[in-house]
Amino acid sequence: MELNSNILQRGVDALSALPGVGKRSALRYALHLVKMSDAEAMDFVDAVRRLKTDIKYCRRCHCISDEELCPICSSPKRQQNLICVVENIQDVMAIENTQQYRGLYHVLGGVISPIDGIGIRDLNIESLLQRVAHPESEKVEEVILALPTTMEGDTTNFYLNKQLKPLGVKVSAIARGIAIGDNLEYADEVTLGRSILHRIPFEQ
Amino acid sequence: MELNSNILQRGVDALSALPGVGKRSALRYALHLVKMSDAEAMDFVDAVRRLKTDIKYCRRCHCISDEELCPICSSPKRQQNLICVVENIQDVMAIENTQQYRGLYHVLGGVISPIDGIGIRDLNIESLLQRVAHPESEKVEEVILALPTTMEGDTTNFYLNKQLKPLGVKVSAIARGIAIGDNLEYADEVTLGRSILHRIPFEQ
């Protein structure tokens, strides 16, 4: 796609760096921005700029938060002795949307992936171990690992379990199995196999 | 979707104002921006800001252009006596991509649409009539109307034809018919009907 303007070209290039945005969508976004009123456009630019300059993280769980402690960490209604370890902030939101979990979180900021150059020091692992070893309030009873089922996720699960066990905390991982509403015949073999291996007693 | 941060919320709201972007995509974009390096993020913000502050339009055809005259208007290789009238800049790009047209363009900036409050004065119609009545270089032989096949597009076609004809210029509209590769049985009746009505002599 040949654009007549370097300014437009640069805008399109910048917008197409967003995840999942191709050149054609980026052009649509760029032309939308061109047509915005001055006030709208400046508001847009300011809102986007602040994402980089003003965003802060909860000092305990590393969620994005405007306060030093995020609303979840500082809520008296949440179980302080339960920590769910997730890869990123989207996962916190996904679990919060289920309304099934009332404990705290810990955002790792990724999973161990030597191929991408992500090692143990690049992740929020040390602060997790500190939270368990030296709890700010209540003693931590259980750490739930809710990491992706990839080789990297499994590696991270394995490493965390090895580090957490000596601290005398229960470590568990979220259940893997056939999704609600899914048909057995279309499930992949690994998932189906695991769902039989980790079958659960029938509730009477 | 409940976000823990007003800054993140504002960023997501701004990004979801882009055309076709929902809250979920906007959140992905926002978190991508949060994770960018400072230099990348500032470059992004600057590129987007300039879309509003620095963009200019060709004084003749109203295309986006960094120069006073866009590369198409100033090219000696283009036919100066042929003007194709389009709704917006994307349409110029679409026609350029066909490599079938070697004339000039005129971007109206919309079509007549009383329901959206877009009247004749809101569009670049006066400058089109000026281009035909008082050509800068060669006399304009033909104006091709390439507007959308909507009621608004048809209204605009009708109005432009009425204004252009007295200036002694040939006015034509792009052909409507069955798209190349399309099956007759799936074509809508109006398109199929028009394609028969406006049939073209078979080339020997």
**3-class DSSP state for residue A93?**
helix
Torsion sign (Cα): A79, A80, A86, A92:
positive
The predicted pLDDT at position B1 comes to 55
Which among A32, A40, A51 has CB closest to B7? A51
Rg of chain A over CA atoms, in angstroms? 22
Cβ within 8 Å, pair A90-B21: no
Per-residue confidence (pLDDT) for residue B203, from 0 to 100: 67
- Pick the closest to residue B164 from B76, B85, B59, B78 (CA basis): B85
- CB under 8 Å to B1, separation ≥6 — which residues? A93, A97, B23, B24, B27
pLDDT per position as a tens digit, B117-131: 999 999 999 999 999
Please answer whether residues B70 and B63 qualify as being in contact, where contact means their C-beta atoms are separated by less than 8 angstroms: yes
Best mutation target, A35, A38, A51, A73, to test chain B (most B CBs within 10 A): A51
Q: Is the pLDDT of residue B204 over 70?
A: no
Contacts of A52 in chain B (CB under 8 A): 33-34, 36, 38, 41-42, 45
Please tell me which residue of chain A has the smallest CA distance to B63: A4
Q: Quick one: pLDDT at residue A3? A: 72
Q: Which helix (H) or strand (E) holds A86?
A: strand A82-86
Q: Mind listing the pLDDT tens digit of every residue in chain A (204 residues)?
A: 567 789 999 999 999 999 999 998 999 999 999 989 999 999 999 999 999 999 999 999 999 998 899 999 999 999 999 999 999 998 998 898 888 899 999 999 999 999 999 999 999 999 999 999 998 888 999 999 999 988 999 999 999 999 999 999 999 998 888 888 888 888 888 888 888 888 777 765
pLDDT single digits (tens) B51-107: 999 999 999 999 999 889 999 999 999 999 999 999 999 899 889 888 889 999 999
Interface pTM, i.e. ipTM? 0.78
| B83 DSSP β-pair partners | B104, B143
Query: Hey, are the CB atoms on A8 and B70 less than 8 Å from each other?
Result: no
How close is the nearest chain A Cα to the Cα of B202, in Å? 34
Handedness of CA A46, A49, A53, A56 (dihedral sign): positive
A31-45, B33-47, B174-188 — which is least confidently predicted? B174-188
Contact A63, A57 (CB under 8 A): yes
Nearest to B10 among A11, A50, A96 (CB): A50
